[in-house]
Amino acid sequence: MSASDNSPQEAEQQKPQEAATPSYPTQGERIASGAKRDLLPTNYDSEQARILFVHAHPDDETSSTGATMAYYAQKGAEVYLITATRGELGEVIPPQLQHLEVGKPGCTDNGEALGEYRVGELNGALEALGVHRHLFLGQEPATAEGVPALYRDSGMAWGPNGKPIANPVSSDASLTAQPLEPQAQALVAAIHEIQPDVLVTYDADGGYGHPDHVRVHQIVKRALEILGDDEDRPLLTWGIEGEYNPEDTRVQAAIFGDGTAKRKAMEAHRTQITVLDDKTFEYSNKVLQKISAVETYRVLDGDPTRTVNPKPQEAGLVSTVLTGVILGTVAAVAGSIYHAWVVYAGDVALPVGLLIAYLTIFFASLWSALALRRGMTAAIVGAVAFVTVYWLAYGRPDSPFVLVNPGHSAIGLYGALWWFGAPVAAMLGMFAYTRNRVKDARYFSARSAHQRARAKAEGRDK
């Protein structure tokens, strides 16, 4: 039967179904009551933080998390990015560059040139966002046995409901066609190298459903399973929120980031994004979208409600100098009073007073450094003690309070040892403070506190 023999009803049924308009979540549309305003644990110092973002293609980091990345970079955090593919199958917007797009006249390399071009665009975007370091999955240190030097873009198609579906002709070298386990092992290797405090990636739905986005979520999830209770496991892992779900009980974080930096980074991805004005942009499909400085996330791993004590603040310069001068003077006078006290054990003279004088300086310098959180205070104590003892020895030559004359008598020797030994005792106090501070930084840092709290919650605390 020819087509002309079909009834009108049959002909209508044979028409291909038109795909719906592509659908994307609206960023920052709904913020839950009680949402966190920070991806870091409460009271975590952003200047000490490392945040790792894991994305699928160049431009995803900007459109999904650009405002957040710029926000934390400006707050002093080290922002890292791992990109899984180079986006070889992306559609190209500028007419003069459409020969790079797979399937268009002039493209004979299956998107290799487009991938290289998009790497250049990515570099420009990362400069605008302030990213500390970037690498692709498959590059050192994000590599493992069985991991190729690069993964190809899997591509996608739009389903009849306006949602992404798998690319039916995806390459065997694409991200979704390759095994998950080596990909997760490669991410684990990168985590060991970077040691991020927080990791950010897609939620289980991939944001809007791109197969590569979903795979990246699976890679991160498996990597966390491999890490287990490893100390390098991120304290918190967040997923980029897709469509707002009021029934989602997971903690939400809403970051009011840098929209200006995000827009500038979008402009760098000109093969993929057209920035229409300060507030809107579109992809090649011409679907109008908002440039949002507000980006929301849902927690995937870790306890974002846990709080650490704020890091003690160092004292100001005036307080440091005044404390050092007062303590140095008092300790020097006190030590000078009993530095020459000698206890005899038979015929042996024990310089007990000199030892007590040294300890007075040592503990005065150590306490001042610990109390003010500044090692310089201990140095001031030592310097002031040295000057004070000098004045007590030579301020009144006719009747010195401290006798400094090693060749004259034992008291003169003790006086000399006291004068020159006082700053040495202060330096020992400063050394003790420095050692304590290193231990404090290693053991009592916010990261360590969270690791111990998590271990306790999971029954691993020793």
- 126, 210: one domain: yes
Q: Which domain holds residue 437?
A: 317-454
Burial-class residue 191 by CB neighbours within 10 Å (0-12, 13-18, 19+): buried
* Listed residues 242, 277, 301: the one ending a domain: 301
CATH number of the domain where residue 136 is located? 3.40.50.10320
Q: Is residue 144 part of a domain?
A: yes
- 347, 252: one domain: no
- 361, 283: one domain: no
- 66, 198: one domain: yes
* Listed residues 266, 301, 336: the one ending a domain: 301
- 126, 275: one domain: yes
At 159, phi and psi to the nearest 5?
A: -80, 170
Q: Is residue 460 part of a domain?
A: no
pTM, to two decimals: 0.70
Could you tell me the sign of the dihedral formed by the alpha carbons of 184, 79, 193, 457, in that order? Answer: negative
Task: Report the chain's terminal Cα–Cα distance, integer Å.
Answer: 80
Strand partners, 136: 83
Helices (H), 111-179: 112-129
Helix or strand holding residue 294 (H, E)? strand 294-301
Q: What is the pLDDT along the chain (462 residues), one digit of tens a residue?
A: 333 344 333 333 333 344 577 878 888 889 998 899 999 998 888 988 999 999 999 999 999 999 999 999 999 999 999 999 999 999 999 999 999 999 999 999 999 999 999 999 999 999 999 999 999 999 999 999 999 999 999 998 888 887 888 888 888 999 999 999 999 999 999 999 999 999 999 999 998 889 999 999 999 999 999 999 998 999 999 999 998 898 999 999 999 999 999 999 999 999 999 999 999 999 999 999 999 999 999 999 999 987 766 556 678 889 889 999 999 999 999 989 988 888 888 877 788 888 999 999 999 999 999 888 888 999 999 999 999 999 998 888 777 888 887 766 778 888 889 889 999 999 998 988 887 665 454 444 556 655 655 565 555 554
- 352, 247: one domain: no
